[in-house]
Amino acid sequence: MSDRKYKLYSDSTCDLSEDILKNMDVTLLDLSFEVNGVVKRKNDMTLPEFYSQMRNGAVTKTSQIGISDYEQAFEKELAAGYDVLYLGFSSGLSGSFNTSCIARDSVMEKYPEGKIICIDSLCASTGEGLLLIKADEKKKQGLSIDELAQWITDNRL
C-alpha cells in the first residue's frame, strides 16, 4: 500500500456544474468534439450554442481523450510525488478508458515508485458525476488510494 498522497481525476463526461466542481478536489480531462470540422473543448461553446448549431445543420462528432493528454496529466502528478486515481467514462461508450490504461502503463515505466489506478466507471453523465462526488467525499474522509479504488469498484453499479 502506498503512503503517497494522491490526486483524483475524471473526465468532462461527468457533466457536473462548475458550482459543484469548485467544492471538489478533482481534476477533469476534457473530451473534445468537432463542429463542422473545427475541434473544440467543453469551455469553447455552451450547450445551447452547440444544439443550435446542430439544429442548423452543423456536422458534429465527438472524440476520446488523447493518450498524450493522459500522459501529461499523469506524469505531472507522479513527478510531483503524487499518485493518481482516475475514474473514467464508461468503456462501453468510449475508447477513452482504454487509452487511459495505455497512458498509465507508459507513465509507470518512467515512475515505477508511483501508482496510477484507472477505474472504468461503467457509466456516464449523471451516474458518473454522482460516483465522482461520492469518491471525492470518501477521499476527503481519508480513504487511501487503494481503499477508494475498492470502494468505487464495489459501488459503481
Query: Is the domain covering 31-64 a CATH 3.40.50 domain?
Result: no
All structural domains of the chain with their residue ranges: 6-30+66-155, 31-64
Q: What DSSP designation does 63 have? A: E
pLDDT in tens, 76-113: 999 999 999 999 999 888 889 999 999 999 999 999 99
CATH fold label, 6-30+66-155: Rossmann fold (3.40.50)
- Does this model's pTM top 0.85? yes
- Residue 4: which pLDDT band, with cuts at 50, 70 and 90? confident
pLDDT in tens, 31-78: 888 889 888 877 788 778 888 998 999 998 878 898 999 999 999 999
